[in-house]
Amino acid sequence: MNIGIVGLGLIGSSLALKLAEIYNDINIYGEDISKSNLNYAIENTIIDNRLEEKHYSELNILFLAIPVDQILDISVNILDKTNNKTLVVDLGSTKKPICDLIKDNINRSRFLAAHPIAGTEFSGPITADNNLFNNKTIILCETEKTDNKLLIIAKELFLSMEMHIKEMNADEHDKHIAYVSHLSHITSFMLGRTVMDKEKNEETIYDLAGSGFESTVRLGKSSPSMWAPIFQQNKKNIIEALDEYIKNIKNFKDLIETDNLLEMSKEMKEINAIKNILKGIK
Amino acid sequence: MNIGIVGLGLIGSSLALKLAEIYNDINIYGEDISKSNLNYAIENTIIDNRLEEKHYSELNILFLAIPVDQILDISVNILDKTNNKTLVVDLGSTKKPICDLIKDNINRSRFLAAHPIAGTEFSGPITADNNLFNNKTIILCETEKTDNKLLIIAKELFLSMEMHIKEMNADEHDKHIAYVSHLSHITSFMLGRTVMDKEKNEETIYDLAGSGFESTVRLGKSSPSMWAPIFQQNKKNIIEALDEYIKNIKNFKDLIETDNLLEMSKEMKEINAIKNILKGIK
């Protein structure tokens, strides 16, 4: 099997490691806009070869593991240049814009829109982890538009990576993911901003911050070049989520201002039910 | 050494386990308003005996590991009932209200206001962890008002628990901790609220939530009876922190609405510096 991976960040290089672990007879071609990422991946045998256009005709699957703005930029061109046996799979965190862009593309049946719910706040091939995808969910969107034979190959590959497959339409995906993923990145970034503005003296943060703060602000370490385009592409849903969130924060602030301990406790007790919901997260 | 612990939740029972591990010649008396907590602590030998008033005269140190409203309720009475060799140490997350309450108390020199920066989102003696305090900071406030001999005993005890001691005035403590701890609890609770309101179907949360959401919403599992009184007692500082936070969230929302990717990226890049700050957190 010949696999191409465009983008050798955390997702792309972790994917390469995992596939090499599962399949004996596999050739992994990779490329990255960053020379240091590409060299690191080659030197550490994360990939077998640098991906060049001349390899396109050999590929069974070509994964796009790059920021979502670049996915929009190159997908049509990639579909043009690959041949009719190659499935192109994008792994971005927004699905509606890419599905809309290629909906009438002549090669639409060779495209699969996917979103693995896996990642960390770290970036680059140095953070590659062959276990990143184990037991995680991958969302596939608009699978009815993908050629069935190619779809089956992709599904088998994801299952062999120990992932759980869920299908959803792109619109629903983007609506829900705005709340469950994109919102928490913004709340985390803004917590970081607020504390850093107040505590110009970093020593105070060292002394007073515990594991709770660390956990809540963790996503504030995430890559700007990955996240800015996600926020732009999913703008409508994210604005809605942020408006709800701001409303809830203001409501809770009112409870504090009016010393309404009863309502505060009731509210927190209801939210505590998230315990049981989180238990279900793989 | 005879130690009393009022409150056998996570903090009180973890403290009991740690002290029993360090000191050979120690008797730990404990009590809890909850009979099941008390029985659990006795049956699992987290404490040696139930603490009763008749033991007060034997105690070297009496720790108050209870919600901050209860600390205000009982501290004066506890100081009255213990004798002049006993140090009373409160372990609450707010320091100004308790310091103000007892500032003119005849027994002020037998009181030490302390805040261990340790904890998790879990509660009760079942979550006790003898390593909870290792390498963590404990903030001591207004130590000049505590009898020096008693203070030295307490400091030796905290050092033997592998804690780092920092001193600060109560006002400064409450101001900083509003940002670095209390704010992150509220942002986490409200993230939980917003997502739960939207996702009535818990299955969607299971499928779409990853480790990022889990980390950011973790503090939303925290105990309402512990946190509502903290929010009330530190109201002024928390409101200020919330106002700053809301301003930052709204500002970022504006950047998203106006497709200002440049400013979004700049903002996130600045916040990324939190990486280095967090490295310093024990």
Summary mean pLDDT of chain A: 95
CATH number at residue B39: 3.40.50.720
Among B127, B146, B168, residue at a domain's last position: B168
| pLDDT, position B202 | 75
Residues A180 and A162 in one domain: no
Asked if the C-beta of B257 comes within 8 angstroms of chain A's C-beta atoms, the answer is yes
Percent over 70 (pLDDT), chain B: 99
Residues A68 and A202 in one domain: no
CB-CB under 8 Å, A214 with B218: no
Spans in chain A with pLDDT lower than 70: 280-282
CB-CB under 8 Å, B117 with A210: yes
Q: Does position B201 have pLDDT exceeding 80, yes or no?
A: no
| pLDDT, position A282 | 46
Residues A22 and A39 in one domain: yes
- CB contacts < 8 A, A to B, total 311
The nearest alpha carbon in chain B to A227 belongs to B265
Q: Judge whether B78 and B30 are in contact, CB under 8 Å.
A: no
Q: Does position B63 have pLDDT exceeding 70, yes or no?
A: yes
Among A149, A168, A187, residue at a domain's last position: A168
Residues B156 and B221 in one domain: no
| pLDDT, position B282 | 47
Q: What is the dihedral of CA B232, B233, B236, B239, to 10 degrees?
A: -40
| pLDDT, position B138 | 97
| pLDDT, position A201 | 77
The nearest alpha carbon in chain B to A266 belongs to B224
**B173-182 pLDDT, tens per residue?**
999 999 999 9
- Total of domains in chain A: 2
Residues B23 and B142 in one domain: yes
**B92-149 pLDDT, tens per residue?**
999 999 999 999 999 999 999 999 999 888 889 999 999 999 999 999 999 999 999 9
- ipTM, 2 decimals? 0.93
CB-CB under 8 Å, B208 with A195: no
Residues A266 and A182 in one domain: yes
Residues A125 and A71 in one domain: yes
State the helix-helix crossing angle for B235-257 and B261-271, rounded to 10 degrees: 140
Q: Which residues of A touch B218 (CB under 8 A)?
A: 212, 215-216
The residues pairing with A168 across neighbouring beta strands, listed in sequence order, are A141
What residues 202-241 of chain B have any CB closer than 8 A to a CB of chain A? 202, 204-222, 224-225, 227-229, 231-232, 235, 238-239, 241
A121 to chain B, closest Cα gap in Å = 8
Residues A134 and A219 in one domain: no
Which residue in A196, A215, A268 is closest to B218 by CB distance? A215
Q: Which residues of B touch A190 (CB under 8 A)?
A: 187, 245, 248-249, 252
For residue A236, what are the domain limits? 173-279
Residues B119 and B215 in one domain: no
| pLDDT, position A202 | 75
CATH number at residue B194: 1.10.3660.10
Among A127, A146, A168, residue at a domain's last position: A168
| pLDDT, position B277 | 79
Residues B132 and B230 in one domain: no
Summary mean pLDDT of chain B: 95
| pLDDT, position B235 | 98
Residues A147 and A205 in one domain: no
Residues B156 and B241 in one domain: no
Which residue in B197, B208, B221 is closest to A180 by CB distance? B208
